[in-house]
């Protein structure tokens, strides 16, 4: 199994509060991703990173920001959480070499915004 951890695994917060989710990897992979999973939508990409301090937006980036100051850590921040951001958040990693050009996922974080 890929060495990916996410913290916290569960969080309940109130509308308007800031929230930061952390993804940590031990694989030294260059690429990291944040997805959200919602019923009827599958998984949708929020942001991704292709190196330290290098990030780009995904399909559903509004209301989210990310940071990557170290190879192993990729943070997802909700500056002011809203109920529409209640979801399960998954982090993924990839090293993008042709033989292993596959995204491997962390265990997920269930976020509830009241």
Partner 1 sequence: AQKVTQAQTEISVVEKEDVTLDCVYETRDTTYYLFWYKQPPSGELVFLIRRNSFDEQNEISGRYSWNFQKSTSSFNFTITASQVVDSAVYFCALSEIGNTDKLIFGTGTRLQVFP
Q: Residues interacting with partner 1, by CB under 8 A? A: 31, 33, 40-45, 48, 50, 56, 88, 90, 94, 96, 101-108
The nearest distance, CB 80 to partner 1, in angstroms, is: 27
Distance CA 114, CA 93 (A): 30
Tokens (6 digits) for 10:
């569960």
3-state secondary structure of 18: coil
Task: Closer to partner 1 by CB, 9 or 18: give it.
Answer: 9
Cis-peptide, bond into residue 85, ω within 30° of zero: no
If the CB atoms of residues 48 and 64 are measured against partner 1, the closer one turns out to be 48
Does residue 110 sit in helix, strand or coil? strand
What is the smallest separation between the CB atom of 78 and partner 1, expressed in angstroms? 20
Q: How far is the CB of 38 from partner 1 (least distance, A)?
A: 10
Q: How far apart are CA 96 and CA 67, in angstroms?
A: 20
Query: C-beta of 66: minimal distance to partner 1 in Å?
Result: 13
Closest CB to partner 1 among residues 16, 107: 107
Query: What's the angle, vertex CA 49, arms to CA 102 and CA 97, rounded to 5?
Result: 35
Nearer to partner 1, 73 or 104 (CB): 104
């Amino acid at each position: 199994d890929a060495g990916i951890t996410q913290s916290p695994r569960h969080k309940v917060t109130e509308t308007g509060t800031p929230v930061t989710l952390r993804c940590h990897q031990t694989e030294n992979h260059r690429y990291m991703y944040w997805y959200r999973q919602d019923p009827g939508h599958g998984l949708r990409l929020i942001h991704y990173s292709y190196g330290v301090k290098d990030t780009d937006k995904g399909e559903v980036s509004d209301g989210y920001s990310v940071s990557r100051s170290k190879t192993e850590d990729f943070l997802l921040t909700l500056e002011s959480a809203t109920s529409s951001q209640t979801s399960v958040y998954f982090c993924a990693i990839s090293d993008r070499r042709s033989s292993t050009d596959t995204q491997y996922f962390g265990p997920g974080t269930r976020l509830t915004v009241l």
